[in-house]
Structure formats: C-alpha cells, structure tokens
Structure 1
Amino acid sequence: MNSEPVSTAWGKIQAMTNSLILLLPNLVLALIVFAVFWFAARAFKSLVRRLTRRHRQARNLGLVLGRLSQGVVILVGLFVALSIVIPSFKVGDLVQLLGISGVAFGFAFRDILQNFLAGILILLTEPFQIDDQIVFKSFEGTVEDIQTRATTIRTYDGRRVVIPNAELFTNSVTVNTAWDNRRLQYDVGIGYGDDIDRAKQLIMEAVANLEVVLREPAPDVLVMELAESTVNIRVRWWISPPRRADALDTRDQVLAAIKNKLTANGIDLPFPTQQILFHDQTEETDGNRSRQREGWPAGNKAVPNSRSISGSLRQLVEMRTQRDGNGNG
C-alpha cells in the first residue's frame, strides 16, 4: 500500500494546526479589541442620546447621531480586528471589494436601505415625534419608537404595529398632536318645525357652559344641510390637549349637554322617516313593466282606489280560487 498520499495529507493537517496555534493569540486579541469597540460604540450612543434628551427639538437628531456614531465605531473596530488577525489586510482591499459588489449588494438589500434612509430623513425632518398620536391608513395610535428601519406605534386598544419607514415617508400621515389645540365637530339634526335660531342659541349655551371646551378659539354653530327628515346643525368646538382620551371625554360631555338642553326646551330630535309604498299586485297589468307603474297602471286610466293589505290579499285569494275553478271545469 502506498503511504505517500497519507503522509501528504497528514503533513497538511499538521501545517494547518500549527498555523491555527500561531494565529490563536491574534484571534483572541482581535475578539477582545472588537468587544472593546462594541461596548464603546454603545456607550457613545447612550452619551449622545443623553446629551440631546433634554431638548425636544434635538431628541430625534440625537437618535440619528447616536445610531450613526455607533455604526461608525463598530465598523472601525471591525477593521482593527481584521488587521490583527490578517496582518496583510488593508482597508483599501475592503473598499475595492465593496465597490465591486456594490451593485449586487444594493439590489439584494434595496428595501432595507430604502427603509434606513427613510428613517434617517424622518428623524431629521421630524414630521412626527415619539409620544405623538398619528393616523396612518387604517392604523391609529401613539408613536413608541422611531428606528432607522421601522416605526412602532401602540394602538388605543393595546396592540403594537410596526410600520416600515419607507411607507411612512412616501404616504400621508395625520398627526393629531402636532398642535396644542384640536377642533372637534358633530352634526345635530332638529325637526323642520323647530326654530333654527332658537336651537342654535341653545346649543351654544350648552357648549359654552362646559369647562373642557376652550373659550378661544370660540365654538360655533352652523346650519350644514337640509336632510330628508332633519335640519342638520354642525357644532364645532376646540380642546386642549388634543390627545385621544381628552377628545373622547370632551365629546361625551358636549353631546350629553346638547341633547339635554334641546329636549328640555322642546326642540325635536327626530328619527329618520321613510315613506313605504306597497305595490298592488292584483291589477291585470301586473308583471308588464311597460304598462305597470308604482302601484297603478300606466296611461290615462283613473288611479284606482287605495286598498288595505288585507283586502288586497283577500281579492288575490278569490281570483286564484276562481281561476282554479275555471281550469278544473
């Protein structure tokens, strides 16, 4: 048996083992150096955020600078660690490698990079901030965190929604807490026989007596629509602060006060009214849509007398009985 291949393989294994043993101290040192840079990056990020936390306008900028500085420090630590493990390694080699594979890298991580850049722009331009209450498509809640990849909101029913930053940056977002004051409105329907001016005066009195409604800007009452069964009057009032809980509490008090005030002074709040026309199916032309109209025949014939439902049903039964009798005969 030829032992030369076995000897060659054993020699290569011994060489690799010796190289690993020689490389082990550098590898351990590289791991220690990278760990130092890792903890230094986290400490630097915390320092930047702590310095900007006191100022609301600079808080989002502190998030951006903290995360960018953390990434830069970790990248420098990676370069230093690679230089220790591989002495022949140069930064220029990595830059050249990244330049060659940049196109493929960009296509592979396009969505991630898009969300990252959108997150940076959101943090810099500040269309909304942490603790703001926003509405995005079918989601509504309080902003918990703005990360470089996604923004998380806590809905009012206790759920967490994670929204990619690219969608937030390219679509419309309603910020309910952008300003100190917020206007609410509701349409109240009164009867056509009621005095509109009197109803408006009573509504203004009911709203003005509530402490939760701001005096400036002042509330107002406007006639908005002559509906089918009501005259719709729109009540508009302002609140502060403009958060969801305050809006619901104020709405509850305002509507209760308006209802009690109007009913106490004899103003009608009518229900929707409908007129129902029962189609008379006992006419000879029933089923002929070219001649049959809504309950009476077309043409110059006189409109038939109105009939009760019971009478129409009785006549229908009699006609069918007579028809069946003629057929049997």
Structure 2
Amino acid sequence: MSLSTIAIALIFLIVAGFVVSFGYIRQSTAGKKETPSVSPTSVHQTHSTMSQDMKSMQTSRVVDAVSVLDELRIASPSYRHYCELVGSSQSEGGVIAPYSKRKVAYYDVRCYRLENRAGQHYETLVAHERSIDPVWFSDGSSDDRVYIDVASFGENVLLVNSKDHVERPDSEFSRTFGQADHGGSVAPSSAVFGLTPPGFDFDLGDIDLDLSFSDLSSGFNDFLGGASMPHGHHDYGSDIGTLIGGIALGTVLSQMGQDKLPQYAQPQQQQSSISGYRLVEDVIPLNSPVYCIGELYRTGDRLSIAKSVSTDHPTSFFATKPEAEVISHLAGR
C-alpha cells in the first residue's frame, strides 16, 4: 500500500470520527434550553441599596474629580468619572418660576387634570414645562462650573417644592387653561420662526398664545395627554402633548392676575367629571446646597454631571438637600 493511500485513509478516519462525535454532542444537548446569563447588578435599585452606596461613597472636591477625569480621558476620551459632589447652585441671571414667580436656578412645573370617574379619583398629566437655561454648581475648590443634566436623573431627584396646589374647576386658571386642555382656541394666531403647524400657532412678541385645537378629531386631546391613571399614578403622555400643554401652561400662569388672559370665542364646556387641576412646581433655588452622585464627563471644554450609564455604578441621585437629608428621604419612601 502506497503512502498516499495510507494518508487518504487516515484523513477519512479523522473526518468520520469528527462527524460521529459532533452528532453525539448534538444529540446529548438536544432539548436543553440555554440559561441566559444574569447580570449580578439589578437594573432596579432599592432605596436601601442607594442609601448604602451614598454612605460608602467618599465625597470629592470638584477640583479633584476633574483632575481624575482629565487624566483618565487621555487614554479613553469618552471616559465618565463616577463621583459624589456637593456645591452651590447657580444660573446665569436666574429664571422666573411661572407659578411661584420666584427667581430660581431651575424650575419644573406640572399640571394634572383631576377627574372623578366611577367613584375613583384620576390624575392625568396634561402639561409639563422645565426651564431650559443652563444650571450648574461649584464648590469653591476651583473655578470649574459643573453643569447639571437634571432630566437625566428621572425620578431620582429631590428638589424644593415651591407649589402644590389644587385649582377648583371654577377658578381663573381652570377656566382659562381648561379651554386649551379640551379643544379651545386662544387669541389670534401668528407664526413662530416661520413654522405654522396646524393647531399650533402662537406669538411670543406680546406673550400672546394661540392653541387652535378646534379642528382636532374627537379623542385626540386624550392622546396628547395620555391615558388617565388612578390617583397616585401619573401618566406622562407624549412629547407633543407635553410640549403643547407646557406652552399653554407657562403662558396662562405668566398672565394670571395681569388682566392679559385670552378671551374665547366660545364659552368653555365644563365637563362634570373634572374636579379641577393640580399644579406642582419644584425648583432649584439660586445658591442652594446641591448634592449629586453620578457621572462627571466633558463635552468639549464643558463639564457636566448626569445619571450614571454604567451598570457598575447604578446609583445616581440629584438633590437640593445635604446628603443626610437625602438618605433620610430615601428611608421614608
């Protein structure tokens, strides 16, 4: 037998053995379901876990945190530094909160429609407006401004509540805002920045507003505001709804008590199930103590802090309170 014949026979035996072995492996594993790997870090953090993370985290000075960030960004430009910082809130000139009329660094105002249906109390978020002016803090250790991405922290924020008030259905606010909420038309319309989408015209020149919703189909306003939820559960609707509602809310609040409220072509048809509107305004006062645990990062030369995106550091929180009060707040939730 020649060497070539022997070589061919050996190759055949090797291939045959591989095929048999592979078939056996497939048969022995048939019917077995692969168990997915489970991350050791839960996406949802309990309040006790958050409190423990805060207690164990060493508070850094801004100058030290920035030094670490910049050093590690040399090797990894997208690096985000997880840290705990404290300081004092600032904003360029401040902004006027629409409901309390206070000058603050930042505000977040929401309007909920209150309804009674089938013996249950419902609250639906129909307008949501946040200030857009940059807000930052510093701690005196350096001249660095740390800009705060408040919205990124979601529900993990503790601001100063400046207003939490229920407007009766016959109040000035309810009669005015309720018209826009339920398909009214406010003031004559004009374009803004050359954009005139149907049913969304308003004029910033004299703080006049037009929300022409009369052409919207039945039920569309409910879509904008989202489905109602029982009391204690708030639906946050769509981006379009909160944008339109926020414009109406801010305008009505700014004109209350100034004899500038819009006049309506048709009287509002008050729905008997509506028991009023709840207005909630949370703010970051100027020069307020600030506590923040999250990720420090740079965008160009600008320093910002936001919610952590790393699963290794799931705890993130922003507050206008000292750390001890934040931990006490979490314990009571």
Q: Which one has a larger percent strand, Structure 1 or Structure 2?
A: 2
Same fold per superposition (TM over 0.5): no
Query: Where is the helix percentage greater, Structure 1 or Structure 2?
Result: 1
TM-score category (smaller protein): under 0.3
TM-score, L = length of structure 2: 0.21
Which structure has more relative contact order (CA 8 Å, sep 6+)? It is 2
